[in-house]
Structures are given as structure tokens and as C-alpha cells.
Amino acid sequence: GQVTAGVIRGQRSRFQLFGDTMNTAARMESGGERSRIQISQVTADLLQEAGLAGWIIPRTIKTFVKGKGDMQ
């Protein structure tokens, strides 16, 4: 999705990204499982096509993401 980037100035300058995509990713990450990554269905399909289906452990429950509802 679309994001906007900018440098935030203050006591310490920092680079920051803004947008719905970033908010969703941050919320999914905070609700994720330790030592696991989350991938889209498209990425999972590509891994399966490449013969790497053993790398995929499907999520058995949905996660509630604020502003988005339940996501799998």
C-alpha cells in the first residue's frame, strides 16, 4: 500500500513512515507470535510453487487488528 515518508525533527531527528500499510503492519507485528514471521497468501503460494511448503506453518487462529478487524 501507499506510505508517506518524512524526517521528524526534534531533540533527535529520525526518519519515519506513515500510512495505513505501516499502521497495519505494526499492529500485526505486535500481535504476532515470537520467532515467527507473517506472510501474505500470495507469498505462501509462491513458496509452495518453489517446493518450500514445509517452511509454512498456517495460522490456526485469527488475530484482531485495531481498525481492520479479524485478520488471518
Give catalytic residue positions.
Answer: 27, 66
Asked whether 70 and 31 are in contact (CB, 8 A), the reply is no
Instruction: Name residue 55's amino acid.
Output: W
How far is 41 from 4, CA to CA, in rounded Å? 25
Picking from 66, 67, 70, 46, the residue whose alpha carbon sits closest to that of residue 56 is 46
